[in-house]
Amino acid sequence: MGDMIELGGDARGYLAVPDTGAGPGVLVLQEWWGLNPQMKGTADHLADNGFVALAPDLYRGELAGHDEMDKAGQLMTTLPSDRAAADMSVAVDHLLDLDAAAGSSIGALGFCMGGLMTLLIAALRPEVGAAVPFYGFPTGDEPDWTTMQAVVRGHFCENDDFFPSSAARDLERRLQTMGKDVQITFHNEGHAFMNETDPFGIYNAELAAELWPQVFAFLHEQLS
């Protein structure tokens, strides 16, 4: 459905537009594998449900296969944080400037590393009005949360070896104490339960089918 587009400089992304030609803009943020076909398919899924979806290529062409976890980890840990922030920010600007993307705010959604990035860009850009992080959040240096305007509805795992639920609950509590509209639902699942390509053998198709309509309804409500 979508196409790779230039965002400026060396930044690129995958843009998917609904058949209607317009809809709320949503930033789609990749897992640690990179902007692979599954992530492009997620952008297409959003477009099928009425959103203008843009997935920036944060690795700028690099990819890791599901049998290359060491490479995925290396790509994630060596990703320059300032470059990632800049690429996400230029993607936000692109969505805000698109005639097809209705409204003055956009949404952000991501999984694993992309969940972390979803919260980061929401903190960096108050134009992000709605954020849906899946099983990922900053575990080291945190951004300045004070300017975050997004309503956050996260979906995390009780059994997560990468992003512990205890730390996620602590972050949720601290953000709520700051007056942020943040709610995280903790599912009795392991990491990557939403990924239909099933890299870790724990994809829960029934739960994914239940959650996607909730995500779409939340984004439409917040961004309309």
| Structural domains of the chain ordered from first start | 3-223 (3.40.50.1820)
* pLDDT, one tens digit for every residue, the chain (224 residues): 799 999 988 999 999 999 999 999 999 999 999 999 999 999 999 999 999 999 999 999 999 999 999 999 999 999 999 999 999 999 999 999 999 998 889 999 999 999 999 999 999 999 999 999 999 999 888 999 999 999 999 999 998 888 999 999 999 999 999 999 999 999 999 889 999 999 889 999 999 999 999 999 999 999 98
Does residue 130 contact residue 154 with C-beta atoms inside 8 Å?
A: no
CA distance 204 to 120: 27
Does residue 155 contact residue 132 with C-beta atoms inside 8 Å?
A: yes
Residues classed as catalytic: 112, 160, 191
